[in-house]
Chains A and B, each alone.
Chain A
Amino acid sequence: MNHKATEPFVRITKRDEIAAWRGWLIRLTSLVLALAVCAVVIYVIVKLNPLKVYGAMWEGAFGSSKRSWVTLRDTMMMLCIGVGLAPAFKMRFWNIGAEGQILVGGIATAAVMIYCGNLMPTWALLLTSFVASCAAGALWGVVPAYFKARFKTNETLFTLMMNYVAIQLTSYCVALWENPYGSNTVGVINQQTKAGWFPPLFEQQYVLNVVLVMVLAVTMYVYLRYSKHGYEIAVVGESERTARYVGISVRRVIIRTMTISGAICGLAGFLAVSGASHTISTSTAGGRGFTAIIVAWLAKFNTFVMILIAALLVFLEKGAMQIASQYNLNDYASQMITGIILFFILGSEFFINYRLVFRGKKEAK
């Protein structure tokens, strides 16, 4: 065996540190590449100038003041869920159950609006809904957390199944509250009295949504970065053994963190029902519980970076809806475009964390 060892054509080495601007440059490049690929796909399907299509997307998201506000409202909704998921994922607890936590939060809010609508003033209704939705979401989050902490039950699948239990619960409530009878929808709750709706602030419908979520985002940033709890979450996420060694009660941290995570996702249900659609259906969460996971993950749990990513995704969604109506496609174009863009952004992380070393080149440094 006269086998001469040759250096492989290309090999991968880990980068120690990368300048922030270079990291962002790589991400931006991947985004541009993704948009180019999407443009090709769009051209193949509809045979239209992709630039015009992107123009139409811009029109759909920011074309009028009303559209801009809706885009902002939905960005806040996405951000809220992402903020809720951040502590769980930082702890490496795969909470795939945001979808269900949003729904039960929404159910709780709708129940308060329907049953107490005429009994309380608006501020009391909002407060009750707020508390009820948080409690419902927290309950949905804490059940899988308890089993994870106690018996190491796989949380990814547990939370996933809880989504479907929540969806059936929603169908049950929709059938229970349907209005008008036989429509199989709840319709707009308290349409005349607007009881339990978010009141407009500064003559804008959605200011309260923005204020609530921004307060949450800042609080979560501080909580994760500067509080003792936040530090404990980070340690448990990095290594449970280390956490145990330094005397952190892993069980307590898991249960506490998932209570918070579930509660915030439940709150997102409150925003969706009380602050946006004023109705409840199985599509109240609409897949956003899954998309927000990607938002939280790509932002590395930094709530301010999440704003950017959430805005990008919502922009795509709104834009694609516009294309859909303008060019006779359907809304699902947005999901496809979102998928392609996320593939590229996920792939780009590799080039941020690793370097390719080609044969014959000296390893730098």
Chain B
Amino acid sequence: MTQVLSLLQAAMVFGTVILFGAMGEILTEKSGNLNLGVPGIMYLGGIAGLAGAFWYESAVTSPVAIVGLLIALLCALAAAALGGLIYSFLTITLRANQNVTGLTLTIFGSGVANLFGGAMNKMAGGVGQISVATTSGAYRATLPFLRDVGVFSGLGFMVYLAIILAFLASYFLSKTRKGLNLRAVGENPATADAAGISVTRYKYLSTCIGAAISGLGGLYYVMDYIKGTWSTDGGIEKLGWLAVALVIFARWKPTQAIWGSYLFGALFWLFLYIPNLTRSSQELFKMLPYVVTIIVLVVVSLRKKRENQPPASLGLPYFREER
């Protein structure tokens, strides 16, 4: 029983990272932009949050947890949105190819993050490891009324923030006028344009806000998952691609992404809970989340149900004069 609980908890922590990433990407893809820069954006969010907290904690003698938390949050949101802005400017205004621009953003983001992360590790001196204990502590604090409730003890507030955001995003997309407009832009931009919806504005806004949400995934990874440190092991990149996969798995529905992300987390950590695995067969077990995604991808394309399909103009550019 304790094993099941600990697996569940590990799965939720892991899942929250990719849930943020996937939610942002769902919002972006609903506008018809396929942003393969999610890993890069998560990197940007993570490093900016860490840098903000690091700067704050080394500038004052007795850092206050809540201030560090807010500074890190704002830095992460701003940096990630900036990444989204670069992508938007190139693909929407300058009409560059979406896939290539996204991949470049991933290269850029991981370069920037690891460059600064490595530099900060050096600046921190000592064991060569940066640490923002106060801020990270604030992110990892359990909610007071859930302190003793089994699986919820030891989950920071961002786990719940992710769930709330998913429900909000779902409400926004399916129940509001703006959400309807956004979906129209993603399905058929020419029609949306004719109906008087500003395609460019919707694409810009949804991509930048989506990027900001994805960036929170990076922040959560840095502050909670690896406890306010930095390591240049490509961990965020791996999770970023999983977030892209989760979008498909959830069939572009934010609420479906919640349980999907926990399932991915459980599959990812499963190998730790299976007795008598050798080190090499553990590696085979770690394939599971990816194999499951492939299976889902194939099944979705086999069944061809309308509500499970990607936005119709996903990945296609829209130029009014080229209709």
Contacts and interface: CB of A to CB of B under 8 A. Distances in A.
Given A152-B301, A294-B104, A347 B241 contact: no
Interface residues of A, number: 53
A1 to B, nearest CB: 15
Contact of B86 (A96, A328, A343): A343
B244 interface: yes
A83 B111 CA distance: 25
A335 B122 CA distance: 19
A333 interface: yes
Contact of A168 (B94, B110, B284): B284
A172 B280 contact: yes
A291 B107 contact: yes
Give the residue among A14, A147, A157 with the most B Cβ atoms within 10 A: A157
B109 to A, nearest CB: 8
A334 B111 contact: yes
B258 interface: no
Contact of B107 (A156, A171, A335, A354): A335
A114 to B, nearest CB: 15
Contact of A346 (B100, B248, B290, B293): B100
Nearest to B97: A297
Nearest to A290: B103
A347 B94 contact: yes
Contacts of B94: 346-347, 349-350
Contact of B115 (A293, A294, A332): A332
8 contacts: A94-B99, A96-B36, A151-B298, A161-B297, A164-B287, A287-B107, A328-B122, A337-B111
Given A147-B298, A153-B301, A175-B280, A168 B290 contact: yes
A154 interface: yes
B106 interface: yes
Interface in B248-285: 248, 278-281, 283-284
B108 A336 contact: yes
Interface string B221-256: 000000000001000001001001100100000000
A290 B111 CA distance: 14
Interface in A147-175: 147, 151-154, 156-158, 160-165, 168-169, 171-172, 175
A152 B304 CA distance: 10
Contacts of A94: 99
Interface of A: 12-14, 45, 94, 96, 147, 151-154, 156-158, 160-165, 168-169, 171-172, 175-176, 287, 290-291, 293-294, 297-298, 328-330, 332-340, 342-343, 346-347, 349-350, 353-354
B294 interface: yes
B36 to A, nearest CB: 8
B259 to A, nearest CB: 20
Given A156-B36, A156-B99, A337-B111, 10 more contacts: A162-B294, A165-B291, A168-B290, A293-B100, A297-B97, A332-B114, A336-B108, A338-B107, A343-B90, A347-B96
Contacts of A161: 245, 290-291, 293-294, 297
B300 to A, nearest CB: 8
A346 B96 contact: yes
Nearest to A143: B294
B297 A158 contact: yes
B119 interface: yes
B290 A294 contact: no
A2 B113 CA distance: 53
Contacts of A13: 321
B318 to A, nearest CB: 13
A197 B104 CA distance: 34
A168 B278 CA distance: 14
Contacts of A290: 103, 106-107
A349 B97 CA distance: 10
Nearest to A349: B96
B284 A172 contact: yes
B301 A151 contact: yes
Top 7 nearest A-B pairs by Cβ distance? A339-B108, A335-B111, A336-B111, A175-B280, A332-B114, A171-B283, A330-B118
A156 B34 contact: yes
Interface in B282-323: 283-284, 286-287, 290-291, 293-294, 297-298, 301-302, 310, 315, 321-322
